[in-house]
A and B are shown apart, each in its own frame.
Chain A
Amino acid sequence: MDTNSRKRELVKEFSPMLVKSSFLSSVWILTLIAIIAVGLYAFYLQLTQGHEITGMRDNVVWGVYIINFIFFVGLSYSGAFISGILHFFKTPWKNSVTRIVEIMTILSIIVGPIFILLCIGRLDRLYYLFLYPRIQSPITWDIIAIITDIFGCFLYLYLTFIPDFAILRDNTDLKLPNWRKKLYTFLAINYQDTESQRERLHKITSIMSKMIIAMAIVAYTVLAWIFSLTLQPGWNSTIFAPDFIFSGLYSGVGVIIIAMFIIRKYYKLEKYIIHSHFVMAGYVLLVLSLLFGYFTFSDYFAKWFSHKPADIYLLNTLFGHYFWQFILANYIGVIVPLFFLSIKKIRTIKSITFAALIAVCGLWLNRYLVVVPTLESPYIPIQDTRLEFMHYNATWIEWSLSFAGIAAFILFFLLIMRLVPVISMSEIIQHERHLETKQDASLKK
Chain B
Amino acid sequence: MNNNDSEKRSTNRRKFLKLGLMSSVTALAGTSLISNFASQEEKKPSGEKIRLLTPDGKIVEVDATNINKYPEALITPEESRKGIPDRKFVMVIDLARCKNARKCVETCQKAHQLDYNQEFMKIQLLQDNENVSPHWFPKPCFHCDEPPCVTVCPTGATFKREDGIVLIDNQRCIGCKFCITSCPYSARIFNWGHNDKFENKEIPYSPETQIPAAEGTVMKCDFCPDMLRQGKLPHCAQSCPMGVIYFGDKNEDIVTNGEETVSFTELINNRGGYRYLEHLGTKPNVYYLPAVNRQFPLERGFDVDEDIIKRYDKVPYVKDLKAQGKI
Chain A interface (Cβ < 8 Å from any Cβ of B): 49-53, 56-59, 61-62, 119-122, 125-126, 128-129, 131-134, 136-140, 143, 226, 229-232, 375, 378-386
Beta-carbon contact of A379 and B124 below 8 Å:
no
Q: Are A380 and B185 closer than 8 Å at their CB atoms?
A: yes
Q: Considering the chains assembled together, what is the distance between the CA atoms of A56 and B262 in angstroms?
A: 44
Q: Tell me how far the C-beta of B215 lies from the nearest C-beta in chain A, rounded to whole angstroms.
A: 6
> With A51-B216, A52-B193 known to touch, is A231 a contact of B172 (CB < 8 Å)?
no
Interface mask (B156-199 → A, CB under 8 Å = 1, otherwise 0)? 11000000000000001111111011101110111111100000
A120, A137, A381: the one contacting B152 at CB < 8 Å is A137
Q: Give the complex CA separation of A164 and B181 in angstroms.
A: 47
User: Across the interface, which residues of A come within 8 angstroms of B184, CB to CB?
Assistant: 230-232, 378-379
CB-defined A-B contacts under 8 Å, sample of 16: A50-B192, A56-B192, A58-B188, A61-B177, A61-B181, A121-B191, A121-B215, A121-B217, A122-B216, A134-B154, A140-B154, A143-B154, A379-B184, A379-B186, A380-B124, A383-B314
* Contact indicator A134/B153 (Cβ below 8 Å): yes
Cβ of A122 and Cβ of B178 under 8 Å apart?
no
Contacts of A136 in B (CB 8 A): 151
Contact B186 A380 (CB under 8 A): yes
B69: CB under 8 A from chain A?
no
Minimal Cβ-Cβ distance residue in A for B189:
A58
Q: Which of A50, A61, A128, A375 contacts B193 (CB 8 A)?
A: A50
Q: Which 4 A-B pairs have the closest CB atoms?
A: A121-B175, A121-B216, A52-B193, A139-B154
**Which of B151, B154, B186, B194 is in CB contact (< 8 Å) with A382?**
B186
Interface residue? B132 (CB, 8 A): no
Q: Per-residue 0/1 for B91-131: is the Cβ within 8 Å of any A Cβ (1 yes, 0 no)?
A: 00000000000000000000000000100001011100000
| A139 engages B178 (CB within 8 Å) | yes
* A126→B154 CA distance, assembly (Å): 11
Q: Are A231 and B154 in contact (CB under 8 A)?
A: no
Q: Are B152 and A230 closer than 8 Å at their CB atoms? A: yes
B311 within 8 Å of A by Cβ? yes
The 8 Å CB contact of A137, one of B124, B151, B277, B280, is B151
Q: In whole angstroms, what is the CA distance A232 to B277 when docked?
A: 12
Residues of A within 8 A of B282 (CB): 231
Give Cα distance in the complex from A56 to B282, angstroms.
26
User: Do A128 and B312 touch across chains, with their CB atoms under 8 A apart?
Assistant: no
User: Nearest chain A CB to B265's CB is how many angstroms away?
Assistant: 27
Q: CA of A229 to CA of B179 in the docked complex: distance in angstroms?
A: 12
Q: Which of B151, B157, B175, B181 contacts A120 (CB 8 A)?
A: B175
* Cβ–Cβ contact B155 & A121, under 8 A: no
Assembled-state Cα–Cα distance A122/B218 (Å): 11
Q: Name A56's closest neighbour in chain B (CB-CB).
A: B192
Among the listed B117, B154, B189, B311, which residue makes an inter-chain contact with A129, where contact means beta carbons less than 8 Å apart?
B154
For A381, list chain B residues within 8 Å (CB): 124, 126, 314
Given A128-B172, A128-B174, A137-B154 contact (CB < 8 Å): yes
Q: Which residue of B lies closest to A379 (CB)?
A: B184
In the complex, chain A residues whose CB is within 8 Å of the CB of B278: none
The docked-state distance in angstroms from the alpha carbon of A259 to that of B117 is 48
Is the CB of B15 closer than 8 A to any CB of chain A?
Answer: no
Chain A residues in 8 Å Cβ range of B151: 136-137
The answer, yes or no, to whether B139 is at the interface (CB within 8 Å) is yes
A378 to chain B: closest residue by CB: B186
The answer, yes or no, to whether B148 is at the interface (CB within 8 Å) is: yes
Chain A residues in 8 Å Cβ range of B214: 122
* With A126-B174, A134-B153: A52-B181 Cβ-Cβ less than 8 Å: no
Given known pairs A379-B277, A380-B139, A383-B311, the reply for A120 and B176 (CB within 8 Å) is yes
B154 A122 Cβ-Cβ under 8 A: no
B152 touches A139 (CB 8 A): yes
Q: Are A61 and B180 in contact (CB under 8 A)?
A: yes
Closest chain A residue to B137, Cβ basis: A380
Most buried by B among A51, A119, A140: A51
CA distance A381 to B151 in the complex (A): 24
Chain A nearest CB from B179 CB (Å) reads: 9
B44–chain A nearest beta-carbon distance, Å: 46
Contacts of B307 in A (CB 8 A): 385
Q: How far is the CB of B80 from chain A (nearest CB, A)?
A: 15
Q: Give which listed residue, B172, B192, B312, contacts A51 with CB less than 8 A.
A: B192
With contacts A49-B193, A50-B194, A120-B176 taken as known, whether A132 is within 8 angstroms of B156 at the C-beta atoms is yes
Q: Is there an interface contact between A226 and B175, defined as CB atoms closer than 8 Å?
A: no
Look across to chain A and name the residue whose beta carbon is closest to the beta carbon of B276: A380
- B310 contacts the other chain (Cβ, under 8 Å)? yes
Min distance, Cβ B141 to any Cβ of chain A, angstroms: 12
B155 and A134 contact, CB distance less than 8 A: yes
Contact A232 B181 (CB under 8 A): yes
On chain B, the residues within 8 Å of A53 by CB distance are 193
Also in contact, A137 and B192, with CB within 8 A (given A226-B178, A385-B307): no
Q: Are B177 and A62 in contact (CB under 8 A)?
A: yes
Inside 8 A of B194's CB, which chain A residues have their CB? 49-50, 52
Pick from B117, B139, B173, B182: contact of A122, CB below 8 A.
B173
CA distance A379 to B180 in the complex (A): 13
Least CB distance from A410 to B in Å reads: 29
Q: Is the CB of A58 within 8 A of B175?
A: no
With CB as the reference atom, state the residue of chain A lying closest to B170: A122
Whole-angstrom CA separation of A131 from B215 in the bound complex? 21
Q: Beyond A50-B216, A230-B148, A383-B311, is A134–B156 a contact (Cβ under 8 Å)?
A: yes
Q: How far is the CB of A306 from chain B (nearest CB, A)?
A: 14
Which chain B residues lie closer than 8 Å to A129 at the CB level? 154-155, 174
